[in-house]
Amino acid sequence: MIKIKQFILLLSVVMVAACQSSTEQKQASTEEPTEALAGVPSYRIGDQVPHDLVCMVNNAYMGKKQFEVPFEGKTYYGCCNMCVERIPVDKDARIAVDPFSSKVVDKSEAFIVLVSAQGHVAYFENEQNYKQFLTAQ
């Protein structure tokens, strides 16, 4: 189990690095996300974070507005062209498992929480599940 967690963490780091290192990325829309949002509060581990500040492919809080990816009437977010292209074709980029209930949740509808100083996030069905998760720890 620990090796699986280490692999997932390593994969996430590689994907984030790949998204951020490309110097010739195509823009997903005509309007670029802002570098940093004025007035956006800083978030601490355990805080809920807004959907539009999370790359849902990398499961990472990015600290700035991400590209919107409309799909089947819902809005997902990606940090780069690769992520934007992946969301509509990869169901795993649109879903996550609630750590408390173990139910599959749609990332566009989830209660998203910052879980590490490196920006990793977790997706919960709702705030109540998150609070129950905390009490069970």
Q: Rounded to 5 degrees, what are φ and ψ at 106?
A: -80, 125
Percentage helix, strand, coil for the chain under 3-state DSSP, each rounded to 5: 35, 20, 45
User: Does the CA dihedral 121-123-128-134 come out positive or negative?
Assistant: negative
Q: What is the pTM of this model?
A: 0.72
Arithmetic mean of pLDDT over the chain: 81
CB 52 within 8 A of CB 66: yes
54 beta partners = 61
- Residue 18 to residue 98: CA distance in whole angstroms: 26
Residue 137 has a pLDDT of 82
- The pLDDT value recorded for residue 42 is 82
